[in-house]
Structure 1
Amino acid sequence: MHRLIFSGCLIGVFSVLLALPAHGTEWQVGPQRALKLPSAAARLAKDGDIVSIDAGLYQGDVASWPQQRLTIRGLESGAHLDALGKSAEDKAIWVLKGDDIVVENIELSGAAAPALNGAGIRFEGSNLTLKNCHFHHNQMGILTGFNANSAILIEYSEFNDNTVDYPRYGKLGHNIYIGNIRRFTLQNSYVHDASTGHNVKSRARENYILYNRVTDERNGSSYLVDLPDGGAGYLIGNLFHQGANTENAAMLAFAAEHNQTQPNQELYLVNNTFVNDHPGGSFLNNHSIATAMLINNLLIGEATELLGPYQENHDLKSTTNVLSDPASYDYRLKSDAPAIDQGIWPGIAANGFPLDPQFVYRHPCGSEKRRQQGALDVGAYEFIAKQPD
C-alpha cells in the first residue's frame, strides 16, 4: 500500500486501491475521483503501475513521471491535457523519465517552453509505446533524447500544428522529433501541417515508416520525412503529400546532416504514393553514397525528380488524374489507372524485414489488410474491382 502524502482524499484514494491488478496499482484520475489531476498520480505512482484518466479536459496541468514500466491511459473518448502555455521542467506537458512506458488514448496540446521546444511529451527513458494519441498546437509534438538502446513505437496517432513562429523566433518546431535511438517505428498514423518544421524527423539507427498519411495540407512543412543521420530506412505503403508553399524542395531527405560517406546504410521506398504540388520539387534527396532502392512507388507531380544515388524498379510517374479524389487526399486508384497490376513482388531486405506491402492506410489513423487482385499495383493502394451482385 502506498503512503498518501495528503490527507483530504484519504478515503477516496483507499477506495481506488481496493481492487489492485496483479501487475501493479491502478490509479484513477478524474473530476469525480480522489485524484483530480494527472499530476497528482505522477506524485504517487510507483514502478509498474497504471494510471487511468477519465475522459475530459485537464487545463494547465503538467507533470514529470520518474516511474519505470508505467502505463498511462485515457478512458472512453480520451483525456485531453491542454497545458495553456505551461511545461514541466520547462520541457513538456509530460516529461517521461522511466523505461518501458506505454501512453494511450491521450490528447496533448498547448505546451510552450522558454527554449521554444515545449513538447507534448519529452521522453528521456528507454522504450516507449504511443497508441491512439493526438499531439497538436505545441511547440514540438514529441521530442526524445539520445538513448542508444531505446525503441519507440507510435501507432494509430495524429500529430498536427506543432510549430514555432519561425519568422518571429527563428526556431523550428516539428510534429515528431526522435533523437539518437536504436529503432523508431511509425505506423497507421496521420501526421500533417507541421508549418515550416518537419512532419517527421528521426535520428534513429533504424526507421520503419509504415502505412501512414504524412501531408502538408493547410501548411507547408520543411520536410515530410527527414532522416538526417541516415542509417536504415524502410518507408512502405505511405501517402505523402507536399504542398506548393513548402520550405524545402525535397519531400524526403536522407543523411542530410551526418554519415553521408558511411557504408552499410539502407533506404527502401516501397509502394508509397507521392503527390508533389511544389513546382520544381523532388520526391527524394539522398545525400549519402548508399543507393536508395525505390520499388512500386507512384510518383505524382510535374518537374519533380530524385536526387542522389538511387535505383528504380517499377516506379510509375503520373498525374493526379489517376487518383480517386486528390483534393480530399483520397489517393486510392481509379479503375483505369495505369498503376493497376504494374508492380512486382519487392522481395526481402538484407536484414530480413519484409518489404512487400501488407496493409493500406485507412483515414483517420488506421489500416486494413491489403487485398491483392492479380499482380501487385503500384502505389500505396490496391485497386479492388467491385464484385457483381
Structure 2
Amino acid sequence: MIRDSFCRKLCRLSLACLGAGLASAAISQSGDTLPQAPSYVGEIRRGADGKLIALPEAELALQKRWGEAAPKATMRVGSGEKISTLTEAARLARDGEVIEIRPGNYRGQPAVWTQDNLLIRGVGERPVMLADGRSAEDKATWVVRGGHVRIENIEFRGARSSHANGAGIRFERGELTVQGCRFADNEMGILTANQAAMTLTVSDSEFADAPRDARDVHHLLYVGAIGKFVLRGSRFENGYLGHLVKSRARENHILYNMLVDGANGRASYELEFPNGGIAYVIGNVIGQSAGTDNPSLVAFGAEGQRWPENALYLAHNTLLNDAHAGSFLSVWAERFTGGLDVWAINNLSVGNGNFFQPAQGRFEGNRTVGRGELIEYAGVPSRLANLSPLRGTVRVPGRAGEMDLLPNAEFAAPAGTRPVRVSSSLSPGAFQ
C-alpha cells in the first residue's frame, strides 16, 4: 500500500518534469515568445535608506576614484541637456560647481573658466573637444584661470591659434589638476603661464601627434616658470621638432611615465628642464626615435639658471635611444653659479649613446643592456627578462631630501600606474 502510493507520487513527479521540459523546449524554438534581455542599469548597491538601488556605470567609476565622497553633479552639459555647449557652461558656472559632460563630439566650443573649486568631468565614454578652427582668446580650446580646478576624462583635439601655440588647455592662474585626459594634434597639449604661485598636476593622461609643421615648434606639454609641476602615469608619443615635455617649473616630479616618441616621432628632447630647478625623475621609460634632430634624451640647464635651488635626481629610469648616436643625459652645469648636484642612480640605458658621469653628485648602479635582452611592454622594449643577469645587481638608491628615490609604482598601459613591492633583489630601470 505504501509502496503503491510512493510509486504513484513518483510517476506524477516524472510526468510534471517531462511536461516542464517539453514546454521549455517549445519556448526555446519560438524566439518571439522569449522575454527581452533586461537593460543594464548599473551595479546594485544598498542606499542610505536601506533600499536597493542601481548605481549607473559612470557614477560607479566616480565612486571608485573618489570613494563614497564622490561629488554630485550640479550642472550637466551635452545633447538633450538644458545647457548644450561648453561655451555656455563656462559662462554660467559658479564657484564650487561640479560639471558633467555627456559623451560626444563638441565642435568649436571654446571656453574660459574663471571659477574657483571647479570640477569638470566627462561621464562615460570620453567626450571630445574638437577645436574646429576656434579658440578662446586666440589661445586655447579651454583657458583656465580660476582657483582650484580639476578636469577629468576629456579629450582635446586640433587646437590652433594665430601665434602657432594654440593649446588644448591654457593654464594661467591657480592650481590645476588634469586626470585621465587625452591631448592629440594640438599645437601645444597644455601650455602654462609663468607665475610661481601656480601648481599643475597631470596624471594618467595621454599626449600625442604634434602637428607636422616645420615652420614652428610644438611641444606636447609646455610648463612655464610655475611653482610646482607633477607628471605621473602618463604617456607621450609622436612629437615633431618640439619636445615631448618641457618644464621651467621650480619643482618637478616626473614619476612613472612613458615618454617614448615612437617610430614615427621626430621630437627634439624627450624631457627638458631648460632653467634647472629641482627635478625628481623616477621610474620613467624615456625613448628617443631614430628620426630625431636632437641627440639628447634628457636635458637640464640649457638656457641657464632661473631658480635659487637646482638639482636633478634621475633614478630607476629606462632610457632608450633608437638613433645611431646621442646622449642619454645632457647637463649644462657651468651655467649654475651656485653649483649643481646631479644624481644618476640605477638607470638602464638601451641603444647607442653616451651616459657621462656628472661633475658633482652621485653616479652609481647605472647599467647598459642590449635591446634583445628586454621584453616589450605596451609596444616598447623596456622590461628586463626574468632571467636577466642584471636583476638584483643594484642597491637601494636612498633619499634626496624628503624624496625617496626608490620607486613604489610603475607605469601601466595605456596610461596610469600600478603599485609595486620592491624586494631585496633590486633591478635597474623603470620596471621591477
| Range of TM-score over shorter length | 0.7 to 0.9
Using the alignment, how far apart are the partners of 2:387 and 2:208 within structure 1? Answer: 34
Once the two structures are superposed, the pairs formed by residues 127-206 of structure 1 within 5 Å of their partners are 127-163=175-211, 165-166=213-214, 169=215, 171-206=216-251
TM-score by length of 2: 0.79
Equivalent residue of 1:306, what SS? coil
Once the two structures are superposed, the pairs formed by residues 47-58 of structure 1 within 5 Å of their partners are 47-58=95-106
What is the deviation of 1:164? 5.6
Distance change >3 Å, CA 279–CA 178, structure 1 → 2: same
The one of 238, 243, 252 aligned to 2:284: 238
Once the two structures are superposed, the pairs formed by residues 237-316 of structure 1 within 5 Å of their partners are 237-259=283-305, 264-289=309-334, 290-306=340-356, 309=359, 311-316=362-367
Give the letter for the 2:189 counterpart: G
What is the deviation of 1:263? 6.5
**Residues 216-248 of structure 1 deviation map (CA, whole Å, 9 limit, x = unaligned):** 102120000010010101000000111111121
Do 2:230 and 2:254's aligned partners in 1 also have CA atoms closer than 8 Å? Answer: yes
State yes or no: 1:39 paired with 2:87. yes
Higher helix share: 2
Equivalent residue of 1:221, what SS? coil
Give the letter for the 2:431 counterpart: Y
What is the deviation of 1:302? 1.9
Give the letter for the 1:114 counterpart: S
Give the letter for the 2:385 counterpart: K
What is the deviation of 1:38? 1.2
Tell me the equivalent position of 2:254: 209
**Structure 2: where are the runs of 5+ without partners?**
1-68, 335-339
Do 1:279 and 1:304's aligned partners in 2 also have CA atoms closer than 8 Å? Answer: no
Tell me the equivalent position of 2:379: 328
Do 1:57 and 1:82's aligned partners in 2 also have CA atoms closer than 8 Å? Answer: yes
Using the alignment, how far apart are the partners of 2:122 and 2:156 within structure 1? Answer: 11
What is the deviation of 1:338? 2.7
Equivalent residue of 2:227, what SS? strand
What is the deviation of 1:330? 4.0
Using the alignment, how far apart are the partners of 1:359 and 1:322 within structure 2? Answer: 23
Aligned length: 357
State yes or no: 1:363 paired with 2:409. no
What is the deviation of 1:24? 9.1
Tell me the equivalent position of 2:134: 86
Distance change >3 Å, CA 23–CA 236, structure 1 → 2: closer
Give the letter for the 2:331 counterpart: N
What is the deviation of 1:339? 2.2
Using the alignment, how far apart are the partners of 2:117 and 2:226 within structure 1? Answer: 18
What is the deviation of 1:345? 0.7
Question: What CA RMSD, in Å, does the superposition of the two structures yield over aligned residues?
Answer: 2.0
Equivalent residue of 1:72, what SS? strand
Distance change >3 Å, CA 25–CA 47, structure 1 → 2: farther
Do 1:211 and 1:359's aligned partners in 2 also have CA atoms closer than 8 Å? Answer: yes
Using the alignment, how far apart are the partners of 1:375 and 1:204 within structure 2? Answer: 35
What is the deviation of 1:313? 0.8
What is the deviation of 1:91? 0.3
Q: Which moved more, 1:176-185 or 1:335-344?
A: 335-344
Using the alignment, how far apart are the partners of 1:366 and 1:23 within structure 2? Answer: 22
What is the deviation of 1:308? 5.1
State yes or no: 1:319 paired with 2:373. no
Structure 1 or 2, whichever has the larger Rg, is 2
The one of 340, 356, 373 aligned to 2:391: 340
Using the alignment, how far apart are the partners of 1:196 and 1:125 within structure 2? Answer: 28
**Structure 1: where are the runs of 5+ without partners?**
1-20, 383-389
Do 2:314 and 2:343's aligned partners in 1 also have CA atoms closer than 8 Å? Answer: yes
Distance change >3 Å, CA 361–CA 249, structure 1 → 2: same
Equivalent residue of 2:88, what SS? helix
Distance change >3 Å, CA 80–CA 63, structure 1 → 2: same
Using the alignment, how far apart are the partners of 1:41 and 1:263 within structure 2? Answer: 42
Identity among equivalent pairs (%): 38
Distance change >3 Å, CA 211–CA 176, structure 1 → 2: same
What is the deviation of 1:371? 2.9
TM-score by length of 1: 0.88
Distance change >3 Å, CA 180–CA 154, structure 1 → 2: same
Give the letter for the 1:208 counterpart: H
